[in-house]
Chain A
Amino acid sequence: MQTRMKEYRARLSLTQEDLARKVGVRRETIVFLEQGKYNPSLRLAHDVAVALGAKIDDIFIFDGETSEPDRVVLID
């Protein structure tokens, strides 16, 4: 898993500690989340996304996926 937490956090000028306090977790959890080593619960992923002003899909990217949504082809 890859995350774009660091990028979004930098945009908001938040430190890891600030973000940890915002979402109510320990700073180490944010560190491991940013490294893609921790699999968060849906609740935590949602809280992080809200704190960073983004969608869950924008922040957390699974292996073999891109941050862009799949293109849908409509057939008549």
Chain B
Amino acid sequence: MFHREDRLPSKIQFLLEIDNIIYHVLEKHNKFGDTMKTRNLYRIIIGMLLTLAGALTIVLTQGDSIAGSILLIAGIVFLITGIIRHRRYGDDPESDERSKRIGAYGLSYSWFTGLLFMTVLYWLDYSGIVRLETQAALALSIIVLAFSAVIYQTYLFRKGDVDEDGIRRDDQCRPE
């Protein structure tokens, strides 16, 4: 019996086989039994390529280059994100109006927290109470911005909505 794939070069056949294996393994593990979103498939492929490139760079440079570690970490992040998102959401939407709203509010609260933090840092430095190097000040600001965004968003996700109690009605706006 003649298959179309018989005419393909062996390297492409090999890659197709790997792709099939990954696809079926992930499909099997998905709780919904859904097919994989193209976005997640790309995440996994990019993750594998970056991981491979990072590992190769580390081996070739014998661990001297920082680029290898960066590529490796980025690859692992892509890989994990793709797999987790596929297993968690399957074909279902990863974001909707609630998650977008909470995401936006979380970032906006985080920005305000960052502004307050940097203002306090500036005045502490100006008055000579605390002396920080530029690198340390920047690192602290990055940490505060990143962590506060995660904390605000987690809090709002657990709460359900960005409002106080779901729906708030302004009594003054009620028609007579």
Contacts and interface: CB of A to CB of B under 8 A. Distances in A.
B and A form one assembly: yes
A25 B99 CA distance: 9
Which of under 10, 10 to 19, 20 to 34, or 35 or more describes the interface residues of A? 20 to 34
Interface in B89-103: 89, 92-99
Report, as a range, how many residues of chain B touch the other chain: 10 to 19
A41 B98 CA distance: 9
Given A37-B159, A38-B161, A62-B169, A32 B96 contact: no
B159 to A, nearest CB: 7
Interface in B151-176: 157, 159-161, 163, 165-169
A21 interface: yes
Given A20-B92, A26-B92, A1 B166 contact: yes
A41 B97 CA distance: 8
Contacts of A40: 97
| Secondary structure of the A contact surface, majority rule | loop
Contact of A29 (B98, B159, B166): B98
Contacts of B92: 20-21, 26-27
B155 to A, nearest CB: 13
A15 interface: no
Contacts of A41: 97
A39 B117 CA distance: 31
Interface in A17-55: 20-21, 24-29, 32, 35-41, 43-44
